[in-house]
Structure 1
Amino acid sequence: MKKIIMRLALVLVCMAVAWGAVLPAGSEAADQPRVEKKAAANGPASVELGAPVVDKASILTKAQVEKLTEKIKAVEEKHQVRIGIYTLKNLPSGMKAGKLANNVLDEHYAGGQNGSIVFLIAMGSRDWYISTDNTMRQRIVDGVGIDGLKDMFLEDLSDGNYAESFGAFVDGVDKYLTYYEETGEPYDPANEFSYTAAAVAVLLALFAAWAFRGGLISSMSNVNPASEASAYLTQGSFHLSRNQDTFLYTTVTRVAKSKNDDSSSSSCSDSSHGGGGGKF
């Protein structure tokens, strides 16, 4: 009987030891997925929230994102603004690029001391849109301001040089904001046109043409000026016998005026946002 009790005790001790060894491993394995899931859920969201570059379309390399981020942060600090570059594969169903860009600005990039601006592109529909808040709108105005930025980045964007295109956009924003801070008014390409320089150029061109013409005339030995028009007509070589005008018919051709379908003029501006966009 004593032997049976000792054997039962030994079995219970072995089971206790085995259970103690299994329980920590099992609980750790059970808790691990929750930890990993939480990290996976919080990681990307915290990176994307207000990040200078959010590349949901995956068109940039990690090195390109880091370089753009560094450039954007330098311009943000220089002018006390918020700048965002936001790419995605497709627009949500029924959503326009301009409306989405406005929402992205309000949710993730609002609060720039001197304004906020977001550059959004949708790869599926080939849409681009620049959204500004009202503070930035005073510095980069709708129309000439947005079109000026477009001219800086659109060619590279259409050619698939996305990093270069985004870099040109950031450089353009820097240029426009610097101009505003120095002059107190938004940049307008027309301001760079000098009427004085244009007038001087016209005068120089006229003088050069007059001098060239005079040189050609002076080199012609068989031509002399005539004081009367009759000198150019051989006497007796022309006789007008009859003078009559006959009306035949009139042809009228009407061509429909083509409508301007320039996608770059599309805008979702409202009381709180400026900007514009188009196709690339």
Structure 2
Amino acid sequence: MLVTLPVWADDTGYIRDTIGYLDASDEEILEAEAADIDQKYHFHAHFAIAESNVEDLQSYAKDLYQSEAGDADGVLLVVTADKSRWHLYYGGQGESLLRLEITDLLWTSFAKESDWYMGAKSYLTTVKTRFEKPSLLVDEADLLDAQEETELLNKLNEISQRQKLDVVVLTVPSLYGQSPQDYADNFFDYNGYGQGDSQDGVLLLVNIGERDWHISTTGFAIYAITDAGLDYMSEQFLNHLSSGNYFLAFDTYADLVDEFVSQAKTDKPYDIDHLPKAPLSILWLPASALLGFVMAWLATALLKGQLATVQPRSDAKEYMKNGSFKLTDSKDLFLYRNVTKQARPKSTSGSSGFTSSGGSSSHSSFSGGSHGGGGGKF
């Protein structure tokens, strides 16, 4: 029985590329990242590019992993040179340690990138995030100062811990060719966000380069934040985004997620037939009181002016002549009824692009996970 295995000579480590698709500097970076995972988590993360003519890729992957890592906990992703086939081999307790709710998550983290180096790097990053979840606030576009980041992150952590649902804010300078929906979904999936068996969470993406925003929901958040609810939420923070008040926009988003999740847990979620009422400004209270006083004064002054020739009387009976009013008979007579009917208006598209009759829309992400949400421009 022949098993096609390359002779590695002095080429040892975590990354295997006998074809030469990775240059020396890229391979060195990937080796360092894989070694860091091994050192921190005692987990082997290997990657290999195999010749396209390897027939039994499963045996190839098993023999290659065991020759390098033995029975140690870990994973090896082998991809053929033409990218037509791939195989994941788990060593030791590798599969259970990774806690992969989406079976093909590691493969799709590689496949979503067109470049070999970026694909391998994304694969290693996904392995790492299974042990170390990134921050709930990732401000790659540098829209917040240090104090704002600290205050917002504290709020995101508190809400996420209390609601058992990750609330994430992500800002980027560019989407690098991806759509806002794909970028938001992929970032959520491949960075290990989400709590519980259904990976409950919600992520707000802001792309400052093309001025895109997108909200991606998973698990319970799909149920809690309906299409109509998403329209309402965006109406509350989009003005802040457009005016450059990013902290207030993100702070408003976090509070609304907290409110919507609480509503969905205690009663039916906010939807097209019942949405929270937008709060009135505190200035409305004194303004309405002043307006009422002015209107009352004007009405009284007008009526008083019309009574300039009338003299006041001390007794009500002085206004009527004695014997001038006699009531002889009284009765009620029903004449007719007038009923007007009007059709109930249908719902129209909201700011996130939905024409909704209620509930939440959902779709499958590149990794195979289920996501809801929507977005637009600001």
TM-score range, shorter chain: 0.5 to 0.7
Structure 2: how far apart are the matches of 1:177 and 1:263?
21
Structure 1: how far apart are the matches of 2:234 and 2:159?
18
- The answer to whether residue 165 in structure 2 is matched with residue 77 in structure 1 is no
1:65 to 135, 140, 149: 149
Across the aligned residues of Structure 1 and Structure 2, the Cα RMSD in angstroms comes to 4.1
**Aligned residues, how many?**
195
Write the mapping of 1:137-152 to structure 2, written as runs, cut at 5 A.
Answer: 137-142=222-227, 144-152=228-236
Structure 2: how far apart are the matches of 1:158 and 1:69?
22
**1:190 CA displacement:** 3.1
Structure 2: how far apart are the matches of 1:109 and 1:274?
17
Structure 2: how far apart are the matches of 1:261 and 1:172?
21
What is the match of residue 207 of structure 2? 122
One-letter code aligned to 1:116: G
Write out per-residue CA displacement over residues 232-261 of structure 1, whole angstroms, 9 at most, x where no aligned residue: xxxxxxxxxxxxxxxxxxxxxxxxxxxx99
What is the match of residue 84 of structure 2? none
What is the match of residue 373 of structure 2? 275
**SS class of match (1:169):** helix
**1:49 CA displacement:** 4.8
2:183 to 100, 104, 129: 100
Gaps of 5+ in 2: 1-27, 37-124, 278-298, 308-347, 356-360, 365-369
Gaps of 5+ in 1: 1-33, 194-211, 221-259
**1:133 CA displacement:** 1.0
2:139 to 47, 50, 55: 55
Q: Pick closer, same or farther for the CA change 1:266–1:188 going to 2, 3 Å.
A: closer
One-letter code aligned to 1:97: P
**1:276 CA displacement:** 0.6
1:161 to 236, 239, 245: 245
CA contact (8 A) 1:83 1:109 kept: no
Q: Pick closer, same or farther for the CA change 1:188–1:177 going to 2, 3 Å.
A: farther
Structure 1: how far apart are the matches of 2:237 and 2:162?
21
One-letter code aligned to 1:89: P
Structure 1: how far apart are the matches of 2:216 and 2:210?
18
What is the match of residue 200 of structure 1? none
What is the match of residue 176 of structure 1? 260
**1:134 CA displacement:** 3.6
One-letter code aligned to 1:264: S
Q: Pick closer, same or farther for the CA change 1:105–1:261 going to 2, 3 Å.
A: same
**1:108 CA displacement:** 2.1
Write out per-residue CA displacement over residues 21-55 of structure 1, whole angstroms, 9 at most, x where no aligned residue: xxxxxxxxxxxxx9xxx69x97xx88995311001
Write out per-residue CA displacement over residues 204-247 of structure 1, whole angstroms, 9 at most, x where no aligned residue: xxxxxxxx9xx99xx79xxxxxxxxxxxxxxxxxxxxxxxxxxx
One-letter code aligned to 1:103: N
What is the match of residue 195 of structure 2? 112
Write out per-residue CA displacement over residues 126-184 of structure 1, whole angstroms, 9 at most, x where no aligned residue: 00000001421101112x11111101211111111111110110001011111112214
**SS class of match (1:112):** coil
**1:266 CA displacement:** 7.1
Structure 2: how far apart are the matches of 1:55 and 1:263?
25
**SS class of match (1:125):** coil
**1:265 CA displacement:** 1.1
**1:189 CA displacement:** 7.0
Structure 1: how far apart are the matches of 2:243 and 2:258?
23
Greater RCO, CA 8 A, separation 6+:
1
One-letter code aligned to 1:176: F
CA contact (8 A) 2:214 2:374 kept: yes
Q: Pick closer, same or farther for the CA change 1:262–1:82 going to 2, 3 Å.
A: closer
CA contact (8 A) 1:131 1:273 kept: yes
TM-score by length of 1: 0.56
Give the number of the structure whose residues are more often strand, by fraction: 2
- Comparing 110-119 and 45-54, the one that deviates more: 45-54
Structure 2: how far apart are the matches of 1:185 and 1:66?
30
Q: Pick closer, same or farther for the CA change 1:67–1:181 going to 2, 3 Å.
A: same
- Structure index of larger Rg: 1
**1:188 CA displacement:** 5.1
Give the number of the structure whose residues are more often helix, by fraction: 1
CA contact (8 A) 1:88 1:121 kept: yes
Q: Pick closer, same or farther for the CA change 1:184–1:262 going to 2, 3 Å.
A: closer
Write out per-residue CA displacement over residues 61-105 of structure 1, whole angstroms, 9 at most, x where no aligned residue: 122111111000110111100111111101112x11011101111
Write the mapping of 1:225-244 to structure 2, written as runs, cut at 5 A.
Answer: none
